[in-house]
Amino acid sequence: MFQRADGRWVLKTAPAWRQTTLPREIRTKRQAEAEAARLVASGGVPAPRLASAGPTVGTVADDWLKLREARPDVSAGTLAANRAHLRAHILPTLGDRPLAELTVPELRLWVRGRRALVSPHYCRNVHTTLVVLLDDAIGEGWLDSPANPARAQAVRAELPAPRAAWGKKVPRIADIADVQRLLDSPAIPLERAARYALALTLGLRDGEIAGLRWRQLELAGERPHVAIETALAMHGKRGYATDSKLKTDAAERTLPLHPAAVAALEEHRQEYWLPIVGRMPGPDDYVFVGKRRRAKETGFRPKSAELLRKDLEAAGVASSFGEHALTFHALRRTVASHLAELGVPADVRAQLLGHSANGAEAFYVAAMSEQLRVACLKIALVWRPGLVRGLVRLLVQASHQNES
């Protein structure tokens, strides 16, 4: 039982933890206990569970998170997801349940409850967090059981089928003319337009772009290129927006730079980076920096999906694909789709995008340099600075300097 801010007492009852608001005339805890006893005796609510001496899901949660933090194979992003799943879906519903008393029927009911609240993909992720927690509870001796009840086939049968959120139609910018319109829009700040130039010519991930340092770029010479070495994770080991490993081993790659990306980066350095930071960039400086003083020389992760939709609308391009709002990852899908339509072989597309090569192809990716360059140049995009865009940028830079 607990008392709300308005003074009303609320009774929560298992197994579904349904809330029953007691009558207004019940004002004290003693009155609330008496009313609860009456409801139990009359069968109006289930009888309360007896207290157990064994550990509960809630009492082991902190120790389990410490175990996860100590494991080198658990990324900061996965750990952040585990915490979110515990906070929103596991502890509010199962937190006071003794580990030894968790049953398959109860967990089936719990999965059905999650399924009604969240997407199929997220529901499966929340269930996985519970599965791993109970696996570790058995391994640590917190739960004396030969089997994990969350792994039971009867529980898994309640999980929604895994499927892509968008079905068969992959969200992307379908028309290359719309892609060019996004790059040409004078309403888009230079630093974001430069990000889009990289994403739409190389298919780089948002974190790979955010983690770029100037030493990774070679803009001069006949064959400008970029070396993808690290990413700036939304949740890194050292906190928010800090360096982390790339998503896969195949993501570490050296790629040719498209002429549009070279021109965009050159202009970004001269027209945005230099005025904002106040000096020429050094090798270890991030290519894309925050506009505020505290982030001038550190990497940052903007709200890329929201900003992309805003910029698409400003450029007169649809910000959704059917019923699905476009995210920054849609730019990556756009590149992959256009390259496939242009006849670029699958193994070359995989190397460009940082996907794992299949079979023997993995041994020959070093010889793909020329194929990658040819594939990159097939993307018919150009960078047009223009007088109007330049004037808009001056206004944007002035506002940024005022904010810092």
Residue 149: CATH number of its domain: 1.10.150.130
What's the pLDDT score for residue 245?
A: 78
| Together in a domain, 23 and 150 | no
| Separation CA 374–CA 382 (nearest Å) | 16
Whole-number Cα distances in Å, 272 to 278, 306, 398: 10, 21, 11
| Together in a domain, 22 and 116 | no
Run of H or E including 320? strand 320-321
| Together in a domain, 37 and 63 | no
What's the pLDDT score for residue 240?
A: 67
Final residue of a domain: which of 156, 185, 203? 156
- The residues, any chain, with a CB within 8 Å of residue 62's CB and separated by 6 or more, are none
Contact 383, 264 (CB under 8 A): yes
| Together in a domain, 125 and 271 | no
Contact 194, 265 (CB under 8 A): yes
- How many alpha carbons fall within 13 Å on the CB side of residue 284? 1
| Together in a domain, 34 and 151 | no
What domain range is 72 assigned to? 57-156
What's the pLDDT score for residue 278?
A: 83
The answer to whether the bond into 15 is cis (omega within 30° of 0) is: yes
| Separation CA 240–CA 301 (nearest Å) | 9
Residue 52 lies in a domain: no
| Together in a domain, 93 and 238 | no
Please tell me the total count of domains within the chain: 3
What's the pLDDT score for residue 114?
A: 93
Q: Hey, what are 171's tokens?
A: 């969200």
| Together in a domain, 21 and 113 | no
| Together in a domain, 346 and 231 | yes
Contact 102, 137 (CB under 8 A): no
What's the pLDDT score for residue 359?
A: 44
What are the average pLDDT values for consecutive 10-residue runs of the chain, which has 404 residues?
A: 85 74 89 86 70 81 94 86 94 92 93 91 95 95 92 95 65 90 90 93 92 93 91 71 76 92 93 86 89 61 91 92 87 92 89 70 56 89 71 56 54
Phi, psi of 155, rounded to the nearest 5 degrees: -75, -45
Is 5 exposed, middle or buried, given 0-12, 13-18 or 19+ CB atoms closer than 10 A? Answer: exposed
Whole-number Cα distances in Å, 375 to 83, 224, 364, 393: 42, 15, 17, 31
Whole-number Cα distances in Å, 29 to 19, 26, 36, 351: 17, 8, 10, 66
Residue 261 neighbours by CB distance under 10 Å: 28
pTM of the model: 0.66
